[in-house]
Structure 1
Amino acid sequence: MRVLIAHSFYRQPGGEDRYVDQQAQLLRTRHDCEVLARHNRDLPAGAATARRMAYSSGERDKVLEVIDGFRPDVIHLHNAYPALGPAVHLAAARRKVPLVMTVHNFRLRCPNGYMFTEGAPCRRCERGAYINAVKHRCFPERPQSISYATDLWIHRFMLRLDRHVDLYLTPSRFMHDRMLEWGFRQEAVRVLRNFTDFEPAQPTAGTYGMSVGRLSDEKGLDILVRALAEAGDPPFMIVGDGPARSELEALASRLSLKRLEFLGRVQMERVLSLLREARFIAMPSVWDENAPLAALEAMALGRPLLVSDRGGLPELVQNGEGVTCRASDITGTASGIRRLMDDDELCRSCGARAGARAAREFTPGVHLEGLENAYQLALAGS
């Protein structure tokens, strides 16, 4: 099979970008695969990029050239914004190539993609009232809010891009169910978990807690820092960078946390080394997190999870692979931290279940079979 992956790589690389690279490598073990890549860091800020995101015949024609040259059986789209905009949808429809799309976030119905604003989950724009993105300052700059709100309205109600996708893949049951709430047809949405190719690790109880990812408000890291203080300042490492870092460091200083380390952004090899020695991985998100790749990687390495009850996170610990706490609950999060820090057997048993589940459900082989089945469905349906 010939598969064309299309993706706009983010300015700050994250799990979605890593997944796209890994997916391409996986497909190439059995199929012909090319990646149509755009890099958002190369785009200038301002009106030109906003127009390109709304509609660009030039970008559409470039995608058509790639399709005509590679002649894919199926196209798999990930992030379209802002570099690709509607170009892949429209080019695939013109050439009658089946289009599969993985839904990594809420961008289908939310301009900022998080359904989180003003410090809380938000569903104001679901029905199409995208003016709320401007009213509630869902982006740092007002012009950016206006452009995303306008462009998503154009894509949804004028270009009707949803109808050009033959099959949607969601990495969590939560996202699958949310899309059905939005009115997508059940037969057009399937759950396909992400995967990791890490070698399983022995489920031993490490010495420190750890968090990995972007440091931003929706991740709930301020709750985590306060919970660490309430839990007695256990050893903990926060890996990653982002707009909330300085505030989090200041908060940790005010709370006199001596054993909390902010490591910033580090190389993936270093992240894996730290994960292997960690006692547990905390993901206290206060938004509806979909299915973070870092969680699957931690599970594959036999690390138990401490997650909030938002979005798809509880699905990852439903069989005892970790501990759940209520989102934004400092005391509940502190209780979970203490349980995992004090109980070696709990850490080992949760880690063993996490590793076993990853070996069953999150392997490259399982994922490749899921992709192949999805592509066959898209081909049959088109």
Structure 2
Amino acid sequence: MKILIINDYIVYGGTEVQTLREKKALENNGHEVLLITLDEKISEKDNVYNEGNGFFNIPLMYSSIRRNLNRMNLLRINHRLYDVLISRVKKFAPDVIHLNNLNKEPFTVYSVIKDFKSFQTLRDYSAICPLGTCIKPDGSICCGYQYNNCNKVCGSSLARKLRFSLWKDINAYRKESIKKYISPSKKLSEFCIQNGYNTTCINNSFDFEKYKQFEKNTDFEMKKFLYYGAINTKKGIMELLDAFEEFQKDKEVELLIAGKIYDDVKDLFEKKVTECEKIRYIGSLEYSEMMYTLRDVHTIIVPSVWMENYPNTVLEGLALKILVIGSDRGGIPEMLSDNRGYTFDVTNKIDMIDKFNRAYMLTPTEYKDITDSNQKYTVNNNSLDKYYSRLIAYVEEFIL
């Protein structure tokens, strides 16, 4: 089967990691794959990402000026890019096209693929929420644009209203061009279906090979809780600090925090950290440094206020035999269901403290039983082979 994958970037973040894994899995199973990207950081003459290896990259800088013109309904189709893309797609003649993130030139790409069999992976809530969070200003969960007056409730400025208008037009164009979608989490799939997307859930794969040398040595004397990721409002960092500050009293426990600090919480975050000696900010860590830190971590906390899709921090914790607790929003509850972890209401400090206590009070035997079982589940459910079998079954049914 000839499968074309289109994504904005080759190397950037989680979406790109998943895209490259998919390409590898498909090729390993005998399929011909071409990955088309618009990555300005990759040269057209790159030694690895070239046509000989199944890559076709068009370096294209993201332009805020062009996005503003799009908001005014001007120059929405990049005709030069359209000509290059349609020529290459027709030359490859794919049986099916798999689209991922398309934020650079969505109108152009959707125009190119509209007459081909195609599906798209929706990796976050931006398909149904112009802010991408599905959270209203009062902190409550929103079920998507079909259940909310976005301009009235969340359009707090003219700039936002213009942004929402462009988002609405992009989505309408998307739905005209693509009829089927997949999502890594059941919750996002459910929300997308409610908002008019024909969506199927296929969980992300996980690269277990790079963790083979990881040695777990949980510290049960001074229990280390860990948050790692973006340090900002939507990640629930301030709710975490407030709850932990009360929870830690008279306990042998500390909270480690790693990641980039954003301006929306910077001052208050730094104040909170200095006020509690059992909370330590350990900086933005490189991969090797994070692996070293995770060795003796007792519990990973994922306190997201916004609707996470299928967070890699949860998947990583399950795979590495680390207990995970997180908010009851987005895809986190399904990942921690069947006694794989604990979830809490991130707007309820008492509930958060209760779940912290449950984790803290586990005996080493109870802890081992849970984390051993979690690793077995994750290895089975999120292997690349399992992802491939689910994806190809979906594609074959789709084509037929």
User: Is TM (by shorter chain) over 0.5?
Assistant: yes
- 1:45 matched to 2:67: no
Gaps of 5+ in 1: none
What's the secondary structure of 1:148's corresponding residue?
helix
Amino acid at match of 1:196: F
* 1:38-187 mapped onto 2 (5 Å cutoff): 38-39=38-39, 42-46=61-65, 48-51=66-69, 55-58=76-79, 59-81=81-103, 83-93=104-114, 96-118=115-137, 120=139, 121-123=141-143, 125-126=145-146, 129-132=149-152, 135-136=155-156, 143=159, 145-157=160-172, 159=173, 161-184=174-197
Deviations along 1:298-329, whole A, 9 cap, x unmatched?
Answer: 21111221011112211112111111111222
**Corresponding residue for residue 280 of structure 1:** 299
Q: Is the 8 A contact 2:181 2:200 kept in 1?
A: yes
Q: Is the 8 A contact 1:52 1:85 kept in 2?
A: no
Shift of 1:230: 1.0
Shift of 1:194: 0.7
Alpha-carbon distance in 2 for matches of 1:294, 1:65: 40
**Corresponding residue for residue 26 of structure 1:** 25
**Corresponding residue for residue 231 of structure 2:** 215
Shift of 1:248: 5.2
Alpha-carbon distance in 2 for matches of 1:378, 1:242: 43
Of 228-237 and 96-105, the range deviating more from structure 2: 228-237
Alpha-carbon distance in 2 for matches of 1:10, 1:229: 41
- 1:292 matched to 2:311: yes
RMSD between superposed Cα atoms in Å:
2.9
- 1:364 matched to 2:374: no
Deviations along 1:156-178, whole A, 9 cap, x unmatched?
Answer: 44x3x214224211111111221
Amino acid at match of 1:350: I
Q: Work out which of the two has the higher radius of gyration on C-alpha atoms and give 1 or 2.
A: 2
Deviations along 1:187-213, whole A, 9 cap, x unmatched?
Answer: x32110011122576776344111222
Alpha-carbon distance in 1 for matches of 2:153, 2:165: 10
Alpha-carbon distance in 1 for matches of 2:216, 2:376: 10
Alpha-carbon distance in 2 for matches of 1:237, 1:10: 32
Alpha-carbon distance in 2 for matches of 1:117, 1:247: 24
**Corresponding residue for residue 322 of structure 2:** 303
Higher relative contact order (CA 8 A, sep 6+): 1
What's the secondary structure of 2:370's corresponding residue?
helix
Of 233-242 and 368-377, the range deviating more from structure 2: 233-242
**Corresponding residue for residue 376 of structure 1:** 396
* 1:194-343 mapped onto 2 (5 Å cutoff): 194-198=204-208, 199=211, 205-206=218-219, 207-232=223-248, 234-243=253-262, 244=264, 246-247=266-267, 249-253=269-273, 256-343=275-362
Shift of 1:290: 1.6
Shift of 1:239: 2.2
Aligned-residue identity in percent: 18
Amino acid at match of 1:151: L
Alpha-carbon distance in 1 for matches of 2:148, 2:349: 34
Shift of 1:242: 4.6
Gaps of 5+ in 2: 42-60
Amino acid at match of 2:396: Q
Deviations along 1:218-273, whole A, 9 cap, x unmatched?
Answer: 2111111112111116322222215245145324236x222323233322333333
What's the secondary structure of 1:86's corresponding residue?
helix
- Indicate how the Cα distance of structure 1 residues 88 and 133 shifts in structure 2: closer, same or farther if over 3 A, else same: farther
Q: TM-score, normalised by structure 2?
A: 0.81
- 1:7 matched to 2:20: no
Q: TM-score, normalised by structure 1?
A: 0.84
Alpha-carbon distance in 2 for matches of 1:308, 1:367: 26
* 1:348-359 mapped onto 2 (5 Å cutoff): 348-359=368-379
Shift of 1:70: 3.0
Shift of 1:335: 2.4
